[in-house]
């Protein structure tokens, strides 16, 4: 277990804004089309807003029309953990940051090739690092 996962929730609550904390550690979802990265076109890296783990590359981002930033792949196989989520009367696959356990969003099997996956991620769980 990483040290970030051992951090008490009260520490995360102090480090993050209220909305970021609600998404990352209370599994809230931002309203569709409201997040700052939904239409974002920058070139670089998307990291976990809580712990800085490298999660996604801009080259894997696509416009899914869903209202949330969408990616075809995580940055690497160790960046994200997935878990079954049966909340809200449906069964989905939740994705969390492997570094700190922050809720990121969900992954669906309706994405484009080559993976066929759509990682549907809350902007509030991300911070963008521009490529120099």
Which residues are identified as catalytic? 120
Q: Cα–Cα distances in Å, from 12 out to 22, 44, 55, 125?
A: 10, 25, 18, 12
For the sheet with 126-130, list strands across it.
54-57, 44-48, 126-130
How far apart are alpha carbons 99 and 33 in whole angstroms? 27
Where helices occur in 16-124 by DSSP H, the ranges are 18-26
């Amino acid at each position: 277990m990483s040290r970030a996962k051992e951090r008490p929730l009260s520490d995360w609550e102090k480090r993050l804004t209220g909305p970021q904390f609600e998404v990352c550690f209370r599994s809230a979802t931002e309203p569709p089309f409201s997040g700052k990265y939904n239409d974002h076109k920058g070139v670089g890296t998307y990291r976990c807003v809580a712990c800085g783990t490298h999660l996604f590359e801009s080259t894997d981002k696509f416009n899914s029309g869903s209202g949330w930033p969408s990616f075809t792949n995580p940055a690497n196989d160790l960046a994200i953990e997935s878990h079954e989520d049966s909340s809200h009367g449906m069964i989905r696959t939740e994705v969390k940051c492997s570094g700190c356990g922050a809720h990121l969003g969900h992954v669906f099997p309706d994405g484009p090739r080559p993976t066929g996956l759509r990682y549907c991620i809350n902007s509030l769980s991300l911070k963008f690092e521009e490529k120099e």
